[in-house]
């Protein structure tokens, strides 16, 4: 939207749709993809950011997006990385899976996409996620509904937050220059409809 592109946000949940509207996003369509009435072959680009892992029928969802794109249309996608980072938070969030770039590429290729670019994101976070979420979940020491703990992990103040910002800024610069990140807590891909 900030770049002047015509965009719309499709959000199936009323709370998510209202939150998007409150942040100034317009239009927001409160519907599931299959119920939104979008004509096949009518979209030049689509994005699905931290959504695919919530959909049990991964292949069906990817084929559906492919059908809506114009030939050569681009699809931007992010998903959580690495099954070994699975934790109680994934269960609470309704995640069916985590990915590697290889497993994501296989799913996309099987659904009629050609990969243009792929990278991991958030390289500093895997050890932190493993120590603070995965390991305590494995040892049954962590409950995903502990909102106070969850909030404390997302504090954006202090020296550790500034250090993390610097690390992530360097990562963003590398990606802007066309580079890739060899590991991280998320996978990001850009692909085109065959």
CATH number at residue 146: 3.40.50.150
Verify that 109 and 180 share a domain, yes or no: yes
Residue range 86-114: average pLDDT?
95
Better-scored residue on pLDDT, 85 or 140: 85
Residue 78 CB coordination number (10 Å): 19
Instruction: Return d(Cα 75, Cα 69) in angstroms, integer.
Output: 8
Q: How many independent structural domains does the chain possess?
A: 2
Verify that 60 and 31 share a domain, yes or no: no
Verify that 52 and 98 share a domain, yes or no: yes
Give the range of the structural domain holding residue 90, as residue numbers without chain letter: 46-193
**Phi, psi dihedrals of residue 34, rounded to the nearest 5°:** -70, -15
160 — pLDDT class (breaks 50, 70, 90): confident
Verify that 54 and 20 share a domain, yes or no: no
- Per the CB < 8 A criterion, the answer to whether 53 and 99 are in contact is yes
Please report the pLDDT score of residue 140 as a whole number. Answer: 81
Q: State pTM to two decimals.
A: 0.86
Verify that 164 and 120 share a domain, yes or no: yes
Please report the pLDDT score of residue 141 as a whole number. Answer: 79
Verify that 132 and 54 share a domain, yes or no: yes
Verify that 33 and 77 share a domain, yes or no: no
Verify that 31 and 52 share a domain, yes or no: no
Residue 161 has pLDDT above 90, yes or no: no
User: Which residues lie closer than 8 Å to 183 by C-beta, 6 or more apart?
Assistant: 81, 120, 123, 126
């Amino acid at each position: 939207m900030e770049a002047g592109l015509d965009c719309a946000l499709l959000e199936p949940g009323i709370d998510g749709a209202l939150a998007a509207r409150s942040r100034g996003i317009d239009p927001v369509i409160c519907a599931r993809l299959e119920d939104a009435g979008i004509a096949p072959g009518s979209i030049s680009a689509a994005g699905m950011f931290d959504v695919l892992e919530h959909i049990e029928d991964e292949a069906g969802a990817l084929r559906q997006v492919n059908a809506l794109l114009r030939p050569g249309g681009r699809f931007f996608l992010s998903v959580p990385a690495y099954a070994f980072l699975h934790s109680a938070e994934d269960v609470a969030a309704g995640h069916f899976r985590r990915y590697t770039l290889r497993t994501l590429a296989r799913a996309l290729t099987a659904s009629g996409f050609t990969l243009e670019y792929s990278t991991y994101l958030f390289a500093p976070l895997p050890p932190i996620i493993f120590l603070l979420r995965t390991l305590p979940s494995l040892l049954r020491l962590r409950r995903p509904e502990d909102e106070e703990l969850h909030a404390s992990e997302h504090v954006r103040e202090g020296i550790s937050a500034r250090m993390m910002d610097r690390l992530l800024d360097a990562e963003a610069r590398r990606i802007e220059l066309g580079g890739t990140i060899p590991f991280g807590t998320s996978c990001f891909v850009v692909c085109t409809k065959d």
